[in-house]
Every structure is written in C-alpha cells, then in structure tokens.
Structure 1
Amino acid sequence: MDYKDMKFKVWHGCDRGLCHKGCGRQDRQLNTFDWLADVPGNNQTTDLVEVQFKNTRKGYYHNVNNLDLKKGDIVAVEANPGHDIGVVTLTGRLVKLQIKKASGIKSPDDIKRVYRLAKDVDMQKYQEAKAREHATMIESRQIAKGLGLKMKIGDVEFQGDGNKAIFYYIADERVDFRQLIKDLAAAFHVRIEMKQIGARQEAGRIGGTGPCGRDLCCATWMKNFSSVSTTAARIQDISPNPTKLAGMCAKLKCCLNYEVDDYMEASRKLPSKEVLLETMDGEYHLFKTDILSGQCTYSTDKNLGANLETISAERAKEIIEMNRRGEKPLSLLEDGKAKPAKKSADLLAGADLSRFDKAKKRKKNNQQRNYNGQQGGRPQRENRRNQRDQQDNSRQQGDNRRQPNENRRPQNSNRRPNNGPRPAQQQREGATPNGRNEGRQPQKTERTQE
C-alpha cells in the first residue's frame, strides 16, 4: 500500500468505553468517570455542572449562560459574598445522579450559577489567596490555643476572591468558638466560616496511601461515610487486632463493610459450630472454617487442634444427616472409606547404621592401595631399613650393659667408645648424597654407671 500521498486523520474516539473526555483533564480527588461523555446531546440534557474546589469540596451550579463547558475547565462561580474559583469535574446526565447522593443540597434554591470561564485577573487573585492559607492556619492554631479551646484546626481554605475563609476543625465535644471568630476576623480581615469535620473527612482532605498500596478510598471516590463496627471483622473471620483494623484516620477501615454481605451469604451455607460429627473414629468438633471456599476443618479436641481433618461443607452436612438417622460413617472422607493408617515419620526406621562404617573401611582400603601404587617399592625399602636400625640399637644396648673390669678382661685400646657409633654406622653417615641413609642421624644411648 502506498502511504506517501495518503491523508491521515487523528482519531479521537474511545476504546473499550475509555475516553479522554471521561477520564482526563484533572488530577483531583473524588474523580468521577463520565462514561456518557461521547453520547450525542449529553450536555444538552441539563444545565447542571459539578465544580470541585480545594481537596474534596464540591458544589453544583446552573450553567445559565450556556457556556461550552468541558471536564477540566476552570470557572468562576457564584458565592456568598463575591465569587469562587473551581474546576469543572462533571457535566450532563450524571450530574443529576450526583446531586441525589449529595447531602449538602436541601432545595433547588441552594444551587447557584456559573458566571464565566476564569480570566487572568481571577486567577491572579486566586493564587494570592491560596498563598495565605498555610500561614493563616498556623496563626489560627495559636489563637485557639490561647483561648484554651479543645479543638484542632486542620485546614484553611480561602475563597477565590479572598473575601472569605473556611476553617476546618476537629473536636470531640461541642466548642463555643464565638470569641474565636471575633479574634480571627480581627486578625485576617475576612469573613470567617467554621466547619466541623471528622477524622475520616480530614484523612480524605489530606489524602495518602492505604495499607493496600492504593490511594485512600475517602480521597478518591468515597463521599458518604457509613458507620463501621467490629462486627464486620468478626463476620469475615478477621483477627480483632486494632493495629490491623485501623486506617490512616485511626478509625476502623471503611473497606471492612465492602464484602460483609458476601461473607454473610456464604456463611449461611456452612454448618453450625455447635454440631458434632460422629464417626467410627470418634467425635469431631468444628475447629475453623474458610467461608469463601466452603471448607471446614474438624478436630477431635474441642479446644485444641488435634487430628485435623478438612472437608467440604456439603460433606459435613451429609454426615450430620447420617447422625440424625443414627448412622455413623467410617471416617470424614468423601467416599466413606476408613481412614488409612499414618506411616511412621521416622526417617531412620529399619535403617542399618553400620552402613556408614563399611563405606569408610572400603574407602580407606582404596586410598592405601592407591598410595602404594604411586610410591612403588618404597614402603618395602623403608621397612628393611627400620629393621636394620632396630638390630643395631639392640647390639649397642647389650654392650652398654657390660661393666668394665680390668682384672677379668683386658681392655682393648682399639675398641670403640661405648657411646660412639659403630664403624658400619660411621660408614653410612659418610655416604654420598645418593646413598640410602642420606641425612640420617646416629642414635646415641646413655647409660648410668652403677
């Protein structure tokens, strides 16, 4: 095919339901996927738009000026007083569904208007107001501490035009902050609004990563927080460890409620813990269960795990029905056969320990045979040499035992000293380097005269 003169066109369609209009143009929290973004006439079905502000705060507004708004556009919306700056996060039919889930809207009159797309002047004021938030939060904490109020100011949000500031605080008890509002208004010269939030809302506003490795649910998609109790952990057979069950907000994890319904439905198919299984081998007590896989582990001891056997829930119910009819199976096995005898766990059972000695003796003989083959006739020559040396030593010791006596035997002047070497031995000492006894030292024997 000739691609030289062909005109190419950039494709902006969707693939498998994923579209750039539904996903992108924002990296904020609580992002909603607009799966109706490419449906023709979606934006004309309603003039409502969803606008998000700092962190997780959202609002819903009427597009009375019929602006061509898309996801990610920065707009100026109506506020009391002045105007605020936010980002469009949703348009079209899905906005109506989002309004039904929102808890802050009580009547249609609470929905305000979208003024315009943000201009450069609006963005400049917005950046100046945002630059004051951190210093304002630090100073407001010092003011609240000076008044002795038991509260924590977690965040401060300025309105887009800088005329209003929202102070988010956490308190376990009711706080009388009338004097605090007066001091804050005198210090910052803006309109003050106090808004109480919980620990979960604070974690959602700050954001973070959970123990699962993903972003926090309260910071990505969760808007309404339902109560979580330890009953959910007990139903799912989770260990009641506070450090494992608590989330980033130091409260029980919201995800404990996600699968409770599935676990409750699956647990109805399992046998009761109070029912015993009677077999020819003995009685079995329910030790533990795997709820999702439907496996039950039984033990012969009620409190300890002894002779554990794992069977399916259907097999357990079958044995229960047999016990009600007065029948007892041979074992808990599926086929009803007797339980096979366990083999000995002793690895040395029936083994001969002397097998190692035989191997060592055979190895030693092989090494000696190899050594003799390498050395040739040298060991035999060494043995003959050692025998001659022993004979010489015995003769020398016999001569030393004789005591000198001039009357009985004349002394021979030519006789060698007692401690001196024999002539043959002297000859061996003076042998050439190639001699047989090269470097051999004469053996001297000393005898004490009695």
Structure 2
Amino acid sequence: MMIELAFKGERKEIYHNPQQFPFQVGDYAIVEAEKGEDLGIVNQIGSYLERKKGDAPIRNIIRKPTVGDLDRYRENRRKEFDAYHLCKKKVIDHNLDMKVVDVEYQFDGQKITFYFTAEKRVDFRELVKDLAGIFRVRIELRQIGVRDEAKRIGGYGACGRKLCCTSWLKEFDPITTQCAKEQNLPLNPQKLSGLCSRLLCCLMYERDFYRAQTEKMPPLRSQYRTAKGIGTVAHIDVFNETVTLQFAENRVEKFELGELSDFTFIPPAEGSSDDAQQETSLAQFEDK
C-alpha cells in the first residue's frame, strides 16, 4: 500500500508501506530521506495514489514515531525559527540580493534547507560556507519562485478558500492576460492578481470552456445591422448563448445566438488606448 505524506510548506511525497503499519490520515510517520530520515503527516491513503505517483523512485516508511520523536519534531520547528532569522542576518552581511522565505529542518537534523526568492541568479557559495560553519550540518539553499513562496507560506484567496497551491495544485501553468481577456474580465490588476502578486491560477480552470464558447460568440463592440437599426454588442452570455445589443438612445435587446444570422455583421474597431494601457499595467503580473 502507498501512502502520501505532507511535510512543511505543503511539500507532499508518496511512500511505500512495506511493513503494513496501520495508518490513518493525520498520523505521523518517519520515512526514508536523502541521506537520513524525515517525519511527515499522513495526507492520503488508497489506490488513487497509484495514479498520482510520478517516475521518481518511491522511498519507504520506516516506522511510527515515538513520543521522543515527536518532541524532537517540535524542537526542530523551534530551531527553524531561529535559523530563519540568522540566515536573514547573514544575507545582509554578505550583501546578497535575495529574500529568505522559509527554513526546513530534516527530522534527523542532518540537513537544513533554506528557501529563498531572487530576481536574478545569486552566488551564495560563501553564505553556504558560513551557515555550514555555524550549524555543522549539510546546508541546501533552494531558489523558488513567488508562486512557490505563496504555496509554502499559505493563506486564503479572495474567494475565502484556502489557496489552491497549498491545498491541491501541484504544478503552475503559465498565465497571461489573454486568459482574462478570453473570459471578458476587467483588466484590473488588483482583482486579477493573487497573494503571490501574479495572475490568479484559477483563471486557467475554465479557460477551455470560455475559449470554445467565445469562438461561437461575436466580439464585444462589434455591431449588427438589423431592422431596428444598428446595434452594438454590449454583453455576451456564454452560458445561455445569448447576446445583448445596444441600440440608439441606450435601448437594449437580448437575442439568441442563432437569431444573429439574420443580421449583417459589422466588425469592431481597433482596441482603444484604454485597453492597451490596462494590458500594459497587467503585464507585470504575468509569469516571467
């Protein structure tokens, strides 16, 4: 049986349970790690993990933790707090352009991983030597992106739910302003960016549906010549497949998509300068 364990920062890995220890979700387990042992919390059990596992080798669960093991686990959490602040000080001392995000102690204390973000590649070799001299264990500095930073820290989105990246999302797809345009969303950076200051991951969830539907629909600001005059496309409803036309004197009328074939289509004019300015301001929130 395979078991998925969760570690600090929403890191999740799948393990074999060769000794068939009885586990329930929420239990602690000590597992094999790279050159040592680690401790995680059971996150998922069942045959579904067969489909979730990747190509990487799967390590084994070693045993259930003792009371002493759990005390050590909590002590590691306390040490991480101290190591985090010490590393921040050392970054300043070495004048490195990087932001320390998180620290993770391996359960057996043989390895400490420092996670950081940076705009460019950072030469941190002297920093590693400094930290290794202080902690006397193997030191790893791992550069992550701003989305990974949000995943490790956690939080709640504007929808009121736990961030997707901390609850279930495993990989980050590139997201551009085109995703918002295809869903006819206002190009407002404050509403379309998440806690990571990048475009919301959820813009991708319904993108295929919107792309398929909008191909059937006329673009906004296009026009139709009808018996009642020229109407401008003011709103499209991709769910009910209806189009709202605005005529002179602000008179509006809703039509079924099939009814538009009886009218003469007039393509929209080129995008306004306001649209261009909105796209430019939103571009900084795209994935680089």
The normalised TM-score by structure 1 is 0.55
1:236 equivalenced with 2:183 (yes/no):
yes
1:147 equivalenced with 2:91 (yes/no):
no
Give the aligned partner of residue 404 of structure 1. none
Give the Å deviation of 1:237: 0.5
**Which of 226, 229, 232 in structure 2 is aligned with 1:278?**
226
Percent identity over the alignment is 36
In structure 2, relative to structure 1, the CA distance for the partners of 1:182 and 1:295 (3 Å cut) is same
**Which of 50, 54, 60 in structure 1 is aligned with 2:4?**
50
Describe how 1:215-230 pairs up with structure 2 within 5 A: 215-230=162-177
**Which of 309, 313, 318 in structure 1 is aligned with 2:253?**
309
- Contact 1:82-1:161 within 8 A present in 2 as well: yes
Q: Secondary structure at the match of 1:297?
A: strand
In structure 2, relative to structure 1, the CA distance for the partners of 1:275 and 1:64 (3 Å cut) is same
Q: Secondary structure at the match of 2:119?
A: coil
Counterparts of 1:192 and 1:159 in 2: how far apart (Å)?
11
Counterparts of 1:77 and 1:223 in 2: how far apart (Å)?
21
Deviations, residues 121-145 of structure 1 (Å, cap 9, x unaligned): 2222222221111111011011011
Counterparts of 1:48 and 1:243 in 2: how far apart (Å)?
42
Describe how 1:26-425 pairs up with structure 2 within 5 A: 47-100=1-54, 106-108=55-57, 111-271=58-218, 274=222, 276-279=224-227, 281-300=228-247, 306-320=250-264
Give the Å deviation of 1:241: 0.7
Give the Å deviation of 1:272: 5.5
AA aligned opposite 2:41: V
Q: Secondary structure at the match of 2:217?
A: coil
Give the Å deviation of 1:54: 1.1
Give the aligned partner of residue 406 of structure 1. none
Give the Å deviation of 1:275: 5.4
Counterparts of 2:22 and 2:160 in 1: how far apart (Å)?
38
Moved segments of 4+, more than 6 Å: none
In structure 2, relative to structure 1, the CA distance for the partners of 1:70 and 1:313 (3 Å cut) is same
Give the Å deviation of 1:157: 0.8
- Contact 2:105-2:112 within 8 A present in 1 as well: yes
Give the Å deviation of 1:270: 2.2
Give the aligned partner of residue 281 of structure 2. none
The normalised TM-score by structure 2 is 0.84
In structure 2, relative to structure 1, the CA distance for the partners of 1:141 and 1:272 (3 Å cut) is closer
- Contact 2:115-2:143 within 8 A present in 1 as well: yes
Q: Mark the runs of 5 or more structure 1 residues left unpaired by the alignment.
A: 1-46, 101-105, 322-450
Give the Å deviation of 1:50: 1.5
Give the Å deviation of 1:71: 2.4
- Contact 2:224-2:263 within 8 A present in 1 as well: no
AA aligned opposite 2:127: L
- Contact 1:75-1:85 within 8 A present in 2 as well: yes
Q: Secondary structure at the match of 1:75?
A: strand
Give the Å deviation of 1:257: 0.9
Give the aligned partner of residue 12 of structure 1. none
Deviations, residues 334-376 of structure 1 (Å, cap 9, x unaligned): xxxxxxxxxxxxxxxxxxxxxxxxxxxxxxxxxxxxxxxxxxx
- Contact 1:263-1:292 within 8 A present in 2 as well: no
AA aligned opposite 2:104: E
Between Structure 1 and Structure 2, the one with more strand by share is: 2
Aligned residue pairs, count: 265
In structure 2, relative to structure 1, the CA distance for the partners of 1:314 and 1:128 (3 Å cut) is same
If you compute each CA radius of gyration, which structure gives the higher value, 1 or 2? 1
- Contact 1:271-1:317 within 8 A present in 2 as well: no
Deviations, residues 41-72 of structure 1 (Å, cap 9, x unaligned): xxxxxx32212111311222222223223322
AA aligned opposite 2:162: D
Counterparts of 1:84 and 1:127 in 2: how far apart (Å)?
13
Calculate the aligned-residue CA RMSD, in Å.
Answer: 2.2
AA aligned opposite 1:276: Y
Give the Å deviation of 1:320: 4.4
Q: Secondary structure at the match of 1:314?
A: helix
Give the Å deviation of 1:202: 1.3
Q: Secondary structure at the match of 2:60?
A: strand
